[in-house]
């Protein structure tokens, strides 16, 4: 092997190959040094995320409900705050002004600077004060020359701009923190959140989060060595922001305002809906919580504690999460079953009370009795005894089935989080709760014969319903057999649920609740107007909390325009349904007839 | 005991060859300095720095262990290792992907990259094969067989995909064949098709190359049959270019290569923000360093935001920025000194296997260095090759130490 020659060639080849590479380094570092120094030393490219503005939420007529605002974090960058010659904070730094405007003490800034003044850390911005509002920020910005090395970063927030509260509908947003970041950006999610993005935590903000958030964009910007922005590097390289599209809700602000006013001093719920498409026009829950603290960063713990300790529970979304005995309103469901069984013409005598086969005596609300009644009469007068007797001839399972058909005992599917199911007892439930050993040790299993089943027929006892379920059942009657899923977004396509019953049954129920308002318990809801047809059913529900709950559920239709609006009013401990609830409903009916356009059908 | 004695020999002459070791330790120290300055990232921790220290210690430990090996072991076990390597790389294909690539075998939380250790094994196997068959096979048979040996693991690695490492399996074949005494012109014959493939990116360059090739073939005085045959092969390889471009490479690699060509031809007017962002930022970092650099820890460019993989493949940009051309020059000179020493040893070694191993190891380190340097300066597409002893990375660090350890062992016990 002539290895000596090969050794030389191999080594010199290696040396020769290194030449162009070394020359390349030479070219970059010596020949083009000035160019790259300029690019790097003074100007640096930085990819900056541009937050997409969140979609603005409007009422059905385009009145804004929720808008975007910014809060500001005050940050310092140690490398810029330190005077290179003295190695201390610039003498001109105006600590007293900063203290008087923002209450940031000199020591706080000193300690941050001391901690991070060495190595690469000095290039980072460090937050000194969070959630400064726009006016304070502007005051500092006016004197920015007195504050070398400080900058403000924007923190998105929401501002509630209308005169209605709507807290349970709109909900609120929260900032993405470390913990939430992991949760939101799970591997399957196509969207990636970054720090200090906001996300919808409740209400519509949560339900329509994927729509409202839009998509953050990116921009490549030139940042000089002081961190001062020198503008966009190259327009075409960025990623465009996709603004969150506006969300037009079905809420009518005026109607909502009235509803909230009515509930100001009581505990309860009001929902107004358009039965012809399932849009919710007003949605009030009382007491509510105030959304304005959410405009200024995270809510202080004291406010949370106040809300959580309030006995009236303002955080409870009563229209969809409050579960109440529906009372006589539920008689409509029982009536549907009586009609289905063809027993509507059987008359029962009411003399004010009824003794069940197990010896229990239950009273009618009218203790002097209603006399002989058929179904229609019983509905008009809301006679309990009639239903006690009628239900004895009905099967328990069928009663459960028709309640389920009317969507009781399960969520109606409104587009808000945390809807509750209410309760329609099943056989298993009854067995668990109403079979017992009497004093002789005998196992009593005949819960179906006594007052328990009868209680169900009048919406008492085991039955629990949310106001949205009650208004949904009214929608079935108003549409004669179908109802759209209640929703809060205008023109949204939703499911249409049907109940297969004879058309005669629907007409009967419709007429019965018409008469109930005209001649019966719902008289207080009636208005004197040739155009309006009012229908409705009152309810006076006994409950363990105290005074009876006052219910009214019904709808108004216009003869001229055929527009309809359904309503449910629930006043906790409001007494008789014929009283306060009917009177509130009456006001809405009047308002509807006088302002037909509020349905937005034009 | 007998079995242990077959592998270990405790009366080996143990010495740390300073001429081999000092350049390596120098590179390690440079790497640690750079990592110490960059790894202070947003988390404010030196985690990468400490991990690298641990890897270097691991490397030194392995170095010491290898000094006790009976040096025939490298020869005897090279083929067995080769088979194990194929199996291990095969296994990685079934491992979950990290960053879209299945290079690693995951054992618990520990990642192990067999293709890095494969670099050692492939050299040993090639050295054994060439040493065994140089006298019995013709030049062409030898070249083709060697290529086949390195192409098996290479195909598997291409599947992962890890083109950088794949390249490293193939390139050392050249100097090793040359060292074994294969005629230069015969080796060139096998290089031409690859040149054809690259020039075929552009019709003009392809035509020029084909004319040039014809002239070269004539000058080298091959037989007419070989000239025609080779010419046809070259044309076919040129045409294959389009097929490979469309079917083997994915969108990402196509973009990278295309961007690289754009950048090279027209450096002032290209998109620095898309795929080429990294290469551009690397150039800015290097260029802004100047002759003496900005000082350790003062590199504003290498600061996290600008250089994405500053710890591993692009560590040289950090070094250039902070320590300047001055240190680059020193690194090159130090490595050339190392290269000179190893080639010298290779010449002095009487045993062909050991001699070829020395050449193989030094050339694989050489190829890593030149490709990494070209990559960070934008002379070569970004294919993800680390700089030996400087870049952060466990498997590669240890396998580099194994190479040095084997050379050290051979030099002390066989010279």
State yes or no: cis peptide before B174, omega within 30 of 0. Answer: no
* Best of B377, B379, B380, B387 to mutate (most A CBs within 10 Å, chain A): B377
Q: How far apart are CA B368 and CA B327, in angstroms?
A: 18
pTM beyond cutoff 0.80 = no
Query: What does the pLDDT average to over A274-279?
Result: 92
Helix (H) or strand (E) holding A159: strand A150-160
Tokens coding A122: 């000095």
pLDDT above 80 (res B111): no
**Range with the largest mean pLDDT of A92-101, A159-168, B45-54:** A159-168
pLDDT above 60 (res A41): no
Residues 6+ apart with CB under 8 A from A376: A344, A508, A511, A512, A515
A329: phi then psi, degrees, rounded to nearest 5: -55, -30
Q: How far is B263 from chain A (nearest CA, A)?
A: 14
Q: Provide the pLDDT for residue B44.
A: 47
* Calculated CA dihedral for residues A258, A262, A265, A269, nearest 10 degrees: -100
Query: For A56-194, where are the alpha helices, taking DSSP H only?
Result: 78-81, 95-102, 106-115, 134-142, 167-170, 178-184
Tokens coding A29: 């570092």
CB contact at 8 A, A539 and A473: no
Output the CA–CA distances (angstroms, integers) from residue B304 to A416, A502, B318, in the order listed.
42, 73, 11
- CA B174, B177, B180, B181 torsion-angle sign: negative
Q: Provide the pLDDT for residue A310.
A: 85
**Does B283 touch chain A if contact means CB atoms closer than 8 Å?**
yes
**Does A16 touch chain B if contact means CB atoms closer than 8 Å?**
no
Q: How far is A196 from chain B (nearest CA, A)?
A: 17
**Does B324 touch chain A if contact means CB atoms closer than 8 Å?**
yes
Q: Which of B40-54, B89-103, B317-331 has the lowest mean pLDDT?
A: B40-54
Helices B163-170, B352-376: inter-axial angle, 10-degree rounding: 140
Percent of chain A with pLDDT over 90: 32
Partner residue opposite B286 with nearest CB, options A29, A47, A234: A29
Q: Which residues of A touch B274 (CB under 8 A)?
A: 237
Task: Please report where in the chains the tokens 């009497």 appear, as a residue.
Answer: A438
A86 — pLDDT class (breaks 50, 70, 90): confident
Q: Which residues of A touch B37 (CB under 8 A)?
A: 120
Are B287 and A14 within 8 A, CB to CB? no
CA angle B255, B257, B260 (to 5 degrees): 105
CB contact at 8 A, B7 and B69: yes
Q: Provide the pLDDT for residue B270.
A: 46
Task: Please report where in the chains the tokens 């460090």 appear, as a residue.
Answer: A126
Q: Provide the pLDDT for residue B305.
A: 47
CA-nearest of B219, B366, B331, B403 to A13 is: B366
CA-nearest of A127, A112, A97 to A297 is: A127
Q: Provide the pLDDT for residue B230.
A: 85
Q: Provide the pLDDT for residue A602.
A: 34
Are B320 and A18 within 8 A, CB to CB? no
Interface size A-B, in CB pairs within 8 Å, comes to 130
A152: phi then psi, degrees, rounded to nearest 5: -110, 140
Give CA A392 to chain center in angstroms.
Answer: 42
pLDDT above 70 (res B275): no
Q: Which residues of A touch B41 (CB under 8 A)?
A: 120
Query: What does the pLDDT average to over B53-60?
Result: 92
Own/partner pairs for B42-49, CB < 8 Å, 24+ apart? Answer: B42/A124, B42/B304, B44/A121, B48/B311, B48/B392
Q: What is the pLDDT of residues B333-366, one digit of tens each?
A: 999 999 999 999 999 998 999 999 999 999 999 9
Would you tell me how many other CB atoms lie within 10 Å of the CB of residue B229? Answer: 13
- DSSP 8-state symbol, A330: G
Q: Which of A99-103, A179-183, A452-456 has the lowest mean pLDDT?
A: A179-183
Residues 6+ apart with CB under 8 A from A562: none
A237 — pLDDT class (breaks 50, 70, 90): low
Helices A503-518, A331-340: inter-axial angle, 10-degree rounding: 140
**Range with the largest mean pLDDT of A231-240, A318-327, A448-457, A588-597:** A318-327
Q: Which residues of A touch B324 (CB under 8 A)?
A: 29
Q: Provide the pLDDT for residue A33.
A: 86
A226 — pLDDT class (breaks 50, 70, 90): very low
Q: How far apart are CA A529 and CA A518, in angstroms?
A: 12
pLDDT above 80 (res B302): no
Give the strand pairing for A247-248 and A57-58.
parallel
CA angle B355, B360, B362 (to 5 degrees): 100
Q: Provide the pLDDT for residue A448.
A: 64
Q: Provide the pLDDT for residue A356.
A: 79
pLDDT above 80 (res A87): no
Higher pLDDT, A251 or A228: A251
Q: Provide the pLDDT for residue B309.
A: 56
**Does A28 touch chain B if contact means CB atoms closer than 8 Å?**
yes
pLDDT above 60 (res B282): yes
**Does B270 touch chain A if contact means CB atoms closer than 8 Å?**
no
Q: Provide the pLDDT for residue B43.
A: 45
A218 — pLDDT class (breaks 50, 70, 90): confident
Q: How far apart are CA A588 and CA A566, in angstroms?
A: 10
Report the residue of chain B nearest A34, measured CA to CA: B288
Q: What is the pLDDT of residues B134-156, one digit of tens each?
A: 989 998 999 999 999 988 888 87
Q: Which of A40-49, A153-162, A234-243, A340-349 has the lowest mean pLDDT?
A: A40-49
pLDDT above 50 (res A601): no
Q: Provide the pLDDT for residue B317.
A: 87
Task: Please state, rounded to an integer, the average pLDDT across all residues of chain B.
Answer: 83
Percent of chain B with pLDDT over 70: 87
Partner residue opposite A14 with nearest CB, options B325, B328, B336: B336
Query: What does the pLDDT average to over B40-64?
Result: 78
Q: Which of A95-99, A222-226, B289-293 has the lowest mean pLDDT?
A: A222-226
Q: Which residues of B touch A25 (CB under 8 A)?
A: 286, 320, 325, 328, 373, 377
Burial B179-196 (b: 16+ CB within 10 A, else e): bbbbeeebbbbbebbebb
Q: Provide the pLDDT for residue A56.
A: 92
Q: Which residues of B touch A28 (CB under 8 A)?
A: 283, 286-287, 320, 377
A467 — pLDDT class (breaks 50, 70, 90): very high
Report the residue of chain A nearest B340, measured CA to CA: A11
CA-nearest of A275, A204, A256, A284 to A467 is: A284
Higher pLDDT, A422 or A233: A422
Q: In terms of C-beta density within 10 A (0-12 exposed, 13-18 middle, 19 or more buried), how is residue B42 classed?
A: exposed
Percent of chain A with pLDDT over 70: 91
């Amino acid at each position: 092997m002539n290895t000596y020659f090969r050794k030389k060639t191999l080594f010199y080849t290696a040396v020769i190959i290194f030449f162009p590479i070394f020359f390349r380094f030479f070219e970059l570092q010596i020949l083009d040094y000035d160019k790259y120094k300029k690019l790097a030393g003074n100007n640096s490219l930085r990819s900056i995320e541009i937050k997409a503005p969140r979609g603005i939420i409007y009422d059905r007529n385009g009145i804004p409900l929720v808008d975007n605002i910014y809060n500001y974090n005050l940050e310092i960058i140690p490398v810029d705050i330190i005077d290179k010659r003295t190695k201390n904070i610039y003498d001109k730094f105006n600590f007293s002004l900063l203290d008087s405007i923002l209450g940031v003490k000199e020591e706080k800034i000193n300690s941050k600077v001391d901690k991070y003044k060495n190595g690469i850390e000095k290039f980072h911005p460090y937050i000194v004060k969070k959630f400064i509002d726009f006016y304070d920020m502007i005051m500092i910005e006016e004197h920015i020359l007195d504050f070398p090395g400080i900058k403000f970063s924007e923190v998105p927030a929401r501002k509630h701009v209308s005169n209605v509260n709507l807290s349970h509908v709109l909900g609120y947003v929260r900032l993405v923190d470390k913990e939430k970041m992991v949760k939101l950006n799970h591997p399957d999610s196509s969207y990636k959140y970054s720090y200090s993005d906001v996300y919808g935590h409740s209400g519509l903000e949560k339900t329509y989060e994927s729509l409202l958030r839009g998509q953050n964009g990116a921009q490549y910007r030139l940042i000089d060595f002081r961190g001062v922005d020198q503008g966009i590097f190259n327009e075409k390289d960025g990623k465009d922001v996709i603004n969150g599209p506006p969300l037009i809700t079905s809420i009518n602000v005026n109607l909502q305002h009235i509803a909230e006013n009515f509930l100001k001093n009581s505990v309860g719920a009001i929902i107004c809906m358009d039965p012809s498409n399932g849009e919710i026009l007003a949605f009030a829950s009382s007491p509510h919580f105030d959304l304005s603290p959410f405009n200024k960063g995270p809510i202080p713990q004291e406010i949370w504690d106040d809300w959580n300790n309030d006995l009236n529970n303002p955080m409870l979304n009563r229209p969809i999460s409050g579960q109440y005995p529906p009372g006589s309103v539920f008689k409509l469901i029982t009536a549907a079953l009586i009609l289905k069984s063809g027993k509507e013409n059987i008359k029962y005598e009411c003399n004010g009370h009824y003794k069940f086969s197990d010896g229990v005596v239950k009273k009618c609300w009218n203790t002097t009795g209603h006399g002989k009644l058929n179904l229609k009469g019983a509905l008009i007068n809301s006679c309990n005894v009639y239903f006690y007797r009628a239900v004895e001839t009905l099967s328990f399972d069928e009663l459960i089935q028709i309640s389920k058909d009317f969507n009781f005992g399960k969520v109606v599917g409104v587009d808000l989080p945390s809807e509750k199911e209410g309760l329609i007892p099943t056989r298993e439930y009854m067995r668990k709760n109403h079979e017992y050993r009497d004093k002789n040790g005998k196992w009593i299993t005949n819960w179906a014969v006594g007052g328990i089943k009868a209680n169900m027929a009048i919406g008492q006892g085991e039955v629990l319903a949310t106001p949205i379920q009650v208004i949904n059942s009214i929608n079935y009657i108003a549409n004669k057999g179908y109802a759209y899923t209640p929703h809060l977004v205008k023109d949204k396509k939703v499911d249409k649920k049907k109940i297969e019953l004879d058309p005669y049954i629907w007409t009967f129920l419709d007429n019965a609740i018409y008469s109930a308002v005209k001649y019966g318990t719902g008289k207080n809801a009636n208005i004197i107007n040739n155009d309006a047809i009012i229908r409705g059913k009152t309810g006076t529900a006994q409950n363990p909390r105290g005074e009876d709950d006052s219910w009214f559920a019904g709808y108004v239709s216009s003869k001229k325009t055929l527009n309809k609006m359904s309503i449910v009013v629930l006043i906790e401990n409001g007494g008789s349904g014929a009283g306060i609830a009917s009177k509130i409903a009456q006001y809405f009916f009047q308002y509807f007839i006088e302002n037909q356009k509020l349905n937005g059908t034009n | 005991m007998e079995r242990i004695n077959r592998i270990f020999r405790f009366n080996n002459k143990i010495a740390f060859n300073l001429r081999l070791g000092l350049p390596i330790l120098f590179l390690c120290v440079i790497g640690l300095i750079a990592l110490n300055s960059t790894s202070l990232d947003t988390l404010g921790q030196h985690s990468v720095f400490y991990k690298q220290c641990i890897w270097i210690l691991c490397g030194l430990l392995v170095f010491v262990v290898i000094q006790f090996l009976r040096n025939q072991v490298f020869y005897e076990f090279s083929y067995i290792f080769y088979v194990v390597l194929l199996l291990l790389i095969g296994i990685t294909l079934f491992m979950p992907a990290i960053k879209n690539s299945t290079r690693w075998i995951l054992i618990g939380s520990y990642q192990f990259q067999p293709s890095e250790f494969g670099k050692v094994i492939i050299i040993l196997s090639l050295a054994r094969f060439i040493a065994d068959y140089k006298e019995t096979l013709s030049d062409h048979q030898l070249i083709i067989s060697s290529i086949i040996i390195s192409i098996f693991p290479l195909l598997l690695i291409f599947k992962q995909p890890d083109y950088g490492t794949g390249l490293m399996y193939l390139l050392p074949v050249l100097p090793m064949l040359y060292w074994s005494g294969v005629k230069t012109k015969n080796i060139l014959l096998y290089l031409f098709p690859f040149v054809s493939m690259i020039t075929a990116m552009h019709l003009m360059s392809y035509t020029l190359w084909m004319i040039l090739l014809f002239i070269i073939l004539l000058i080298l005085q091959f037989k007419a049959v070989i000239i025609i045959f080779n010419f046809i092969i070259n044309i076919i390889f040129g045409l294959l270019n389009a097929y490979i471009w469309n079917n083997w490479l994915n969108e990402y690699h196509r973009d990278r290569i295309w961007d690289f060509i754009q950048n090279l031809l027209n450096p002032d007017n290209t998109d620095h923000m898309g795929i080429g962002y990294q290469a551009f930022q690397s150039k800015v970092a290097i260029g802004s360093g100047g002759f003496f650099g900005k000082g350790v820890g003062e590199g504003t460019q290498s600061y996290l935001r600008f250089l994405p993989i500053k710890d591993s493949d692009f560590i040289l940009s950090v070094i250039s920025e902070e320590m300047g051309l001055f240190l680059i020059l020193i690194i090159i000179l130090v490595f050339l000194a190392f290269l000179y020493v190893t080639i010298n040893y290779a010449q002095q070694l009487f045993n062909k296997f050991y001699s070829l191993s020395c050449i193989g190891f030094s050339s694989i380190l050489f190829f890593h260095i030149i490709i990494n340097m070209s990559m960070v300066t934008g002379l070569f597409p970004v294919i993800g090759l680390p700089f030996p002893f400087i870049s952060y990375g466990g498997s590669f660090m240890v396998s580099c130490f194994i190479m040095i350890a084997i050379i050290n062992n051979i030099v002390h016990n066989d010279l």
